[in-house]
Amino acid sequence: MIETGLRDRVVIVTGGAAGIGRAVVRRFAAEGARVSAWDVGDAAPLAGELSEERLDVRRIDVTDGAAVEAATAAVVERWGRIDVLVNNAGIVRDKQLVKWKDGAVVSVLDDATFDSVIAVNLKAVFLCARAVVPHMIRGGGGVILNASSMVGLYGNFGQTNYAASKFGVIGMVKTWAKELGRKGIRANAVCPGFVSTPILAEIPEKVLKAIEDRVPLGRLARPEEIANTFAFLASDEASYINGAVIEVSGGLAL
């Protein structure tokens, strides 16, 4: 493992209970950071893996602004500051904009399905950053990292809501890089391709094989490979990277 100088940094990871988020929590903890893992699900199993001294687990709905503010205050009360925010929480609710068959509309992307993805994937990113940034400014700087997606760059069939949300968090990063750079805060986005996580569990094996065949490296990403990118961007080794959008896709877009 490459030493990234993250020891004793205070890090918040949303969606930290599973998948990429869990790998991010483990990666930062392995570097000696103090990590607050937020998730609407049960992140308690992490407590059995990592030192209680360096892990803070919070069951929180990041679409609830008041809950986000309270959790942020609790992290600052415990550890005195916030150095890194990893906006990783996200959901998928796929549906075609309009499904048309035999000359008629079969179904449409309904408001509730659209709004649920925007709330978690986009608005929650705004809520978390708004809560955390004042503490970063008071502390002299920090790093905001948004989990976007290759879908946010190139779109994908049946993912109007998801693509919009993931493109939106890139726009936030570019805006925050300009607004907050002079405050010592860097903002960057990571765009994973297809990653071997539970979110892919419902995809048929033959479809996954077809996806792997599209990737020049011939396989899906491991969550740890995405986590390594977040760790690098959070570290002082990436001190002049600001407003960047990093693809971690095995060359999927080539």
Parent domain of 103: 10-248
Give the pLDDT mean for 42-55. Answer: 81
Q: Is the pLDDT of residue 60 over 70?
A: yes
Residue 2 lies in a domain: no
pLDDT digits (tens, 9 = 90+) for 94-112: 999 999 999 999 999 999 9
Q: Is the pLDDT of residue 23 over 80?
A: yes
pTM, full prediction: 0.94
* Sheet strands side by side (includes 55-59): 55-59, 34-39, 10-14, 84-87, 142-147, 185-192, 245-248
> Which of 252 and 202 is assigned the larger pLDDT?
252
What is the structure's pLDDT at 199? 73
Residue 103 lies in a domain: yes
How would residue 3 be classed by pLDDT, with cut points 50, 70 and 90?
A: low
| Percent of all residues in the chain with a pLDDT value above 90, rounded to a whole number | 81
Residue 109 lies in a domain: yes
> Which of 97 and 220 is assigned the larger pLDDT?
97
Residue 52 lies in a domain: yes
Q: Is the pLDDT of residue 2 over 60?
A: no
What is the structure's pLDDT at 244? 98
Least confident span in 54-58, 201-205, 232-236: 201-205
Q: Is the pLDDT of residue 77 over 90?
A: yes
For residues 33 and 83, give the distance between their C-alpha atoms in angstroms, rounded to a whole number: 10
Residue 101 lies in a domain: yes
Give the domain CATH number at 83: 3.40.50.720
What is the structure's pLDDT at 197? 85
Instruction: Determine contact, residues 86/133, Cβ cutoff 8 Å.
Output: no
Give the pLDDT mean for 138-147. Answer: 98
What is the structure's pLDDT at 148? 98
Catalytic residue numbers read 162
Q: How many domains does the chain have?
A: 1
Residue 253 lies in a domain: no
DSSP letters, the chain, are: ----S-TT-EEEEETTTSHHHHHHHHHHHHTT-EEEEEESS--GGGGGTS-TTTEEEEE--TT-HHHHHHHHHHHHHHHS---EEEE-------B-SEEEETTEEEEE--HHHHHHHHIIIIIHHHHHHHHHHHHHHHHT-EEEEEE--HHHHH--TTBHHHHHHHHHHHHHHHHHHHHHGGGTEEEEEEEE-SB-SGGGTTS-HHHHHHHHHHSTTSSPBPHHHHHHHHHHHHSGGGTT--S-EEEESTTTT-
How would residue 206 be classed by pLDDT, with cut points 50, 70 and 90?
A: confident
Q: Is the pLDDT of residue 201 over 90?
A: no
Q: Is the pLDDT of residue 37 over 90?
A: yes
Residue 1 lies in a domain: no
Give the pLDDT mean for 208-216. Answer: 88
- Looking at every residue in the chain, the average pLDDT score rounds to 93
Tell me the CB-side half-sphere exposure of residue 206, using CA atoms within 13 A. Answer: 0
Q: Is the pLDDT of residue 183 over 70?
A: yes
Residue 5 lies in a domain: no
